[in-house]
Amino acid sequence: MVKRISKTNVIYKFSAKNKPVETASPGDLIIFETIDCLGGQIRNENDSISAIDWSRVNGATGPLYVKGAEPGDTLAVEILDISVDDKAFLVTVPGNGVLSNLKFSSKIKMLKTSKYTTNFSSLRIKSNPMIGTIGVAPAYDEIPCGDLGRHGGNMDVPILNAGSILYLPVTVEGALLALGDLHAVQADGELCVSAAETSGEVLVRINLIKKRQPRFPILENKDIIAILAFGNTIDEAIRAATEYAVETLMISHKLSFEEAYMLGSLIVNLRINQLVDPKKGVRAEISKDFVKFEDFLGIK
């Protein structure tokens, strides 16, 4: 039986204080219905950005309590399917995005979407339905869903799509998984501050790895393992991703620092997730020809 979590169960902070709205055991299938990142407040291009209630943005659906999940474990979230609405929107917000220093106005653009294609005016762009926000509750803080960190959050990773597995370090009992902020398509960087923002449904399978965890969220797909690192600046994020990648190569291939550092130049691809959220996100991708997920466990 597949359990379904309604999009009426919205959280705005990842927090141990949130009451679970559903429970699951390892192996269970769950559908999360999600609202868009602005909570359905944008319906057409004449809506006003200045009328948006910013206390109702970046909501995530959940949280889901995972039976048996304890601090020190890793939650594995297998993304089996993502379906998106038939429309999406983009916004510009003055003072936001990579070009926040330039003068420009607020604008809303509506897009027609499907699983296959997103139409930007007359341009047809290949869709890549993906999850913008997904995370577990942090042990001590309450972290707004618009922020990101070791718990996951608003990571905006374009390759967090169907067929991938996301590994999140558990720090509270039950893990308290929540997700939302679907994008029909987004490029690395999310440069204008929004992507093809939409609502939809995500089908996941939940699993648990006991008593071991990675230092950062890790994404696995059929080709690569990616470290999802973050920092207050892009430089900080790049350094964090690189250090973890090199340390992992030292351990998995029994190399000195210098050898692992050199190997990294050949096989570690540093890519940008997003540059527009409170913290910047970088991923270090390594081919599964050279590493496996287990290599990333147990380095603190």
Stretch that binds Zn ion, among 1-9, 30-38, 144-152, 211-219 (CB under 5 A): 30-38
Strand partners, 152: 135, 149
If one asks whether residue 28 binds Ca ion (CB under 5 A), the answer comes out as: no
d(CA 267, CA 5): 40
Nearest CA to 88 among 38, 46, 155? Answer: 38
d(CA 88, CA 235): 32
Q: Find where tokens 């204008």 sit.
A: 192
Q: Find where tokens 């995530």 sit.
A: 60
Partner from Zn ion, Ca ion, none contacting 22, C-beta within 5 to 8 A by type: none
Asked if the peptide bond before residue 63 counts as cis, ω within 30 degrees of 0, the response is yes
Q: Which is nearer to Zn ion, 198 or 248 (CB)?
A: 198
Footprint of Zn ion on 79-98 (CB under 5 A): none
Compute φ and ψ for 246, nearest 5 degrees: -70, -40
Partner from Ca ion, Zn ion, none contacting 154, C-beta within 5 to 8 A by type: Ca ion
Q: Which of 5, 30, 31, 37 binds Zn ion (CB under 5 A)?
A: 37
CB-based contact 49:94 (threshold 8 Å): no
Q: Which of 22, 181, 220, 285 binds Ca ion (CB under 5 A)?
A: 181
Q: Which of 147, 181, 277, 295 binds Zn ion (CB under 5 A)?
A: 181
If one asks whether residue 22 binds Ca ion (CB under 5 A), the answer comes out as: no
The CA-based diameter of the chain, rounded to the nearest angstrom, is 59
If one asks whether residue 197 binds Ca ion (CB under 5 A), the answer comes out as: no
Fill in the per-residue mask, 140 to 179: x = in contact with Ca ion (CB under 5 A), - = not in contact. Answer: --------------x-x-----------------------
d(CA 13, CA 147): 9
Q: Which stretches of the chain bind Ca ion, using CB under 5 A?
A: 132, 154, 156, 181
Q: Which stretches of the chain bind Zn ion, using CB under 5 A?
A: 37, 132, 181, 197
